[in-house]
């Protein structure tokens, strides 16, 4: 059973579920998480965990934010502080065309993130 989340302003540039090809069970694949404040997180943002909170994946970082671990479902505006969101965390398939990477994440960085997501049982299908 999932619970309703109270989130900051939600940002919806597209319908994220269009890019979700498959998930084992919603309650198993998705997880409620805290997104670090000070950033905007669009639908299907590729995320990493830093200090117990989720942040944008950054391949150039020297900390755990260089390891992609989840994909955000519905976008969240956390510019005003930490906010709740729901991520795809395991046993699902997402279309690559829908993924959002922050500026500066080139094709090699994106490929690395996709390999890391695959290791977390989040399969990414299709090309850029």
User: Which pLDDT score, from 0 to 100, does residue 28 have?
Assistant: 66
**9-23, 44-58, 97-111: the lowest-pLDDT one:** 9-23
Q: Is position 1 within any domain? A: no
pLDDT at 26 over 80: no
Model pLDDT for residues 48-106, shown as the tens digit of each residue: 999 999 999 999 999 999 999 999 999 999 999 999 999 999 988 899 988 999 999 99
| 28 CB-side CA count, 13 A | 9
Burial of residue 53 (CB within 10 Å: 0-12, 13-18, 19+) is: middle
| Total number of domains constituting the chain | 1
CATH number at residue 32: 2.40.300.10
Q: Is position 4 within any domain? A: no
User: Which pLDDT score, from 0 to 100, does residue 54 have?
Assistant: 98
pLDDT at 116 over 60: yes
């Amino acid at each position: 059973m999932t619970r309703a989340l109270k989130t900051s302003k939600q940002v919806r540039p597209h319908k994220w579920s269009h890019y979700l090809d498959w998930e084992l069970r919603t309650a198993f694949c998705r997880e409620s998480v805290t997104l670090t404040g000070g950033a905007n997180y669009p639908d299907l943002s590729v995320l990493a965990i830093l200090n117990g909170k989720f942040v944008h994946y950054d391949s150039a970082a020297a900390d755990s934010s260089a390891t992609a671990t989840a994909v955000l479902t519905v976008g969240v505006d956390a510019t005003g502080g930490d906010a709740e969101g729901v991520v795809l965390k395991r046993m699902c398939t997402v279309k690559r065309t829908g993924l959002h990477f922050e500026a500066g994440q080139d094709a090699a960085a994106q490929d690395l993130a996709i390999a890391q997501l695959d290791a977390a049982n989040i399969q990414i299908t299709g090309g850029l």
